[in-house]
Structure 1
Amino acid sequence: ELKLRPNPERPVIEKLIDYEQFCGIPQAKEQEAKQKMDIPEMTVQELKQLIDSGADDFMLIDVRNPHEYEIAKIPGSMLIPLPDIEQGKGIEQVKERLNGHRLIAHCKSGIRSGKALGILKEAGIEGTNVKGGILAWSREIDSSVPEY
């Protein structure tokens, strides 16, 4: 049995703090929602139509990690991981390869690609997010693409 006594030098805790407020979570969520609202989106059906049309005026980037890209990928996509974009190296890769083409980005569900497009937008590169990411692609377009 362990007996505890209050420390007289510490203030008395009368109530718990608002954890999310303390950690800045509402501000982060608000900022993420604001970034997402400013970024155009397209459905996987619209992306499929674009790919099937044979158009070559767009660049499709996948911002997932390399091991995720090995598991499943959308045909014609180019891997530029979000950490590379956050560090600046990926921004340069996009700039080098974009050549006036329309930028389209996807990830697993659309969250990371939205974040990547927000970072790219700050660098002066506009893009469109694929709503639902590769999970939506697998469920709605090509069931042979594995879900993970």
Structure 2
Amino acid sequence: PITQLIDYEQFCGIPPAQATEQAGQTEIPEITVAELKARMDAHQDFVLVDVRNPNEWEIGRIPGAHLIPLPQIENGDGVEQVRRLLNGSELIVHCKSGARSAKALKILQAAGIQGKNLRGGILAWAEAYDPSIPKY
């Protein structure tokens, strides 16, 4: 019988943010969904990039986000797309829970592009602001 849920991130080999920082790897700056919502409400200038896959994008999205899937960032095409979108604006990146967007930000940082990771991803956004987005 199943008695408890596994840690999905650990099971998939995605290290927790604290372990990554302790290992001396590049720290990924984060922003909370409350901070993102406040920036949206204040009409601040930023670019929100969603690095999930197109099928996930169809399930639900944060208003104003631009879809640039992680595989496109990994192959370099997405890096140039992000560079074109930014035009001096701040970058905020999100995925489902925050792991893929952190990976995308590491790649973007290596290309000289700074940004922030949305802590908890679209799942945190759905929980706090948009319950119409299905949790998948």
Give the TM bin, normalised by the shorter chain. Answer: 0.7 to 0.9
Secondary structure of the corresponding residue to residue 93 of structure 2 = strand
Secondary structure of the corresponding residue to residue 47 of structure 2 = strand
Equivalent in the alignment of 1:123: 111
Residue deviations 1:36-79 (CA, integer Å, cap 9, x gap): 76111011011111111112x20000000000001010000000
* 1:45 and 2:34 correspond: yes
Residue deviations 1:106-129 (CA, integer Å, cap 9, x gap): 000000000000000000000000
In 1, the alpha carbon distance for the partners of 2:107 and 2:82 equals 12
Equivalent in the alignment of 2:8: none
Q: How far apart are 1:130 and its partner, in Å?
A: 0.3
**Amino acid aligned to 2:20:** A
In 2, the alpha carbon distance for the partners of 1:67 and 1:30 equals 26
RMSD of aligned alpha carbons:
2.1
In 2, the alpha carbon distance for the partners of 1:107 and 1:115 equals 10
In 2, the alpha carbon distance for the partners of 1:51 and 1:132 equals 17
Residue deviations 1:74-124 (CA, integer Å, cap 9, x gap): 000000000000000000101111100000000000000000000000000
TM-score (norm 1): 0.76
Is contact 1:59-1:77 (8 Å) kept?
yes
Structure 1 unaligned residues grouped into runs of 5+: 1-24
Q: How far apart are 1:141 and its partner, in Å?
A: 1.5
Equivalent in the alignment of 1:33: 20
* 1:102 and 2:87 correspond: no
TM-score (norm 2): 0.82
In 2, the alpha carbon distance for the partners of 1:131 and 1:30 equals 12
Pair 1:147–1:85, CA change in 2 (3 A) = same
Secondary structure of the corresponding residue to residue 134 of structure 2 = coil
In 2, the alpha carbon distance for the partners of 1:115 and 1:145 equals 23
**Amino acid aligned to 1:52:** D
Larger Rg: 1
Runs of 4 or more above 6 Å deviation = none
Aligned ranges 1:1-148 → 2 under 5 Å: 29=15, 33-34=20-21, 38-55=27-44, 57-148=45-136
In 1, the alpha carbon distance for the partners of 2:20 and 2:115 equals 17
In 2, the alpha carbon distance for the partners of 1:84 and 1:127 equals 17
Percent identity among equivalent residues? 55
Structure 2 unaligned residues grouped into runs of 5+: 1-12
